[in-house]
Amino acid sequence: MKIDKRHLLNYSILLPYLILSVLGLIMVYSTTSATLIQYGANPFLSVINQGAFWVVSLLVILFIYKLKLNFLKNSKVLTLVMLVEIFMLIYARLFTESVNGAHGWIVIWKLSFQPAEYLKIIMVWFLAFTFARKQKMIATYDYQALTRRRWWPRNWGDLRDWRVYFLVFTGLVAIQPDLGNAAIIVLTGLIMFSLSGVAYRWFSAILATVTALSTALLGTIALVGVEKMAKIPIFGYVAKRFSAFFNPFNDLQESGHQLANSYYAMSNGGWFGMGLGNSIEKRGYLPEAQTDFVFSIVIEELGLIGAGLILALVFFLILRIMNVGLKSKDPFNSMIALGVGGMMLMQVFVNIGGISGLIPSTGVTFPFLSQGGNSLLVLSAAVGFVLNIDASEKRDDILREAEAELQSKVESYDNKIIKFNDFQ
C-alpha cells in the first residue's frame, strides 16, 4: 500500500509559515525602502534579495519534505555536516572581517553565509539523534544515561558524548562573538534535555544553575562597571550592549542609541499604530531597523494590537510544531519537532527581550519578519523537517490501521472457516 505524502501535508503549519514569510517581505520593504531612496538606490532592492532567499527556502522545504527520515538518522551524514559546520565557524572567526564587531559572516562572491545560524538546526538534529538513541537507558538510569560515559569520546564519528560537541560548538559561536545565537543554542539544548525523558529534578537543578550564573554575571558587571569589563578580550564587543541594558538613556549617542529609539518607536505606535510605512524611527533614527529591531517598527506602524496578532500567529505556529512532537511515536521525530519549536520560541524570547530591555540586546533577528536570508533559510528548513515528520507519522498510522484491519478480517475469515468445518 503506497500513500503519497503530498496528501498528508499539515496546512496548520504551512499556512502560518507562508503568511509570516509574506509579512516579512512587507516589513523588509517598509523598513528599508526609505533609506534606499535616500541613497538613490532601488527601493525594492532589499525585498528582492529577501524574496530570492524565500524562493530558495520554498525549494528547500520541498526537498526536505520528500526526504526519507532514515537519512537523518545516519550518523555518518550527521558527522559530515558537523565537520563542515565546525570548519565554517573556525574559518569565519579567523579569516573574515568583522561586521558590527563580530566575525560571523563568510562572503562568497555576492552571497554571505552566517554559520552560527545553521548551527541552530544542526544542534537540534544532533541532540535529537543522541537523546533518541538513549531512550531505553534514560528510562532505566535517568540522568546517568546521558552522563555515564567518559567526558572525552573514544570515537568522534560515533557521536557518543553529546556534552563535548555541544560545548565546543557553543563556544565557537560565543567567541565570534555571537552571544545571541549562543544563548538560543544553549536554551534550546536545555529544552531538549528536559524533554529527553530525564526526571524533572535535573531540569530544575540546571535551570536554577543557569539563572544563578546569569544573575551573578549581571551583578558583577553592574558592580565592576562596563568600562572595566570591556577590557576583557572578546567581551569588549558586548560591553556596549550591557551598558545600554542597564540604562540606555545614559549614552544616547552611542551604546544606548538603538534601545532608546526602540522605546520611542513602540511609544509612537500606541494601540493602533501610525500606519504601514509611516514609521518615524526607521528614517535614520533606529539603525538597522530591518534586522533585530524590526518588531519595534512593527509596533510603531501596526500598533500593539497589530503586533499582538502577528505574535499570536507566531506562537500558533510554534504550538502546532510542538504538537507534532508530542504526538510523534518515534523518539527521534518527537525530539526534532520539539527542538524546532523550542528553537523558534527561544529566538522570539531573545529578540523581544532585547528590544524591550528585558535582557541585553544580542542582535538576534525576529523569526520570518527580519531581513536576513540565512535566518529565513534555517527557519524554512526547520519547518520542512517538521512537515516531513508529521506526514511520515500520519502515513505510518494509516498503514498500521490498515494492517490491523486486514489482520482482523483475516482472523474473522479464519474463524468462519473453522466454524464451517465444525458444522460439517
Domain ranges in the chain are 5-423
Residue type, 401: E
Which of 55, 68, 62 minimizes the C-alpha distance to 389? 68
What is the rounded (10 degree) CA torsion for 80, 84, 85, 90?
A: 140
- How far is the C-alpha of 158 from the C-alpha of 183, rounded, in Å? 26
What is residue 225's predicted lDDT score, i.e. its pLDDT?
67
- 62: burial class by Cβ within 10 Å (0-12, 13-18, 19+)? exposed
What is residue 157's predicted lDDT score, i.e. its pLDDT?
47
CB contact at 8 A, 328 and 389: yes
Q: Which residues of 13-25 are buried (b: 16+ CB within 10 A; e: fewer)?
A: bbebbeebbebbb
N- to C-terminal Cα separation, the chain? 37
What is residue 258's predicted lDDT score, i.e. its pLDDT?
82
What is residue 322's predicted lDDT score, i.e. its pLDDT?
94
What is residue 343's predicted lDDT score, i.e. its pLDDT?
94
Average pLDDT value for the chain: 82
Task: Describe the crossing of helices 179-194 and 115-133 by its angle, rounded to 10 degrees.
Answer: 10
- How far is the C-alpha of 374 from the C-alpha of 397, rounded, in Å? 35
pTM comes to 0.86
Composition of the chain by helix, strand, coil, percent to 5: 75, 0, 25
N residues, the chain: 424
Q: Which residues of the chain have pLDDT under 50?
A: 150-153, 155-157
E strand intervals along 3-133: 106-108, 111-113
- 378: burial class by Cβ within 10 Å (0-12, 13-18, 19+)? buried
What is residue 8's predicted lDDT score, i.e. its pLDDT?
85
Residue 407: partners with Cβ closer than 8 Å, 6 or more residues away: none
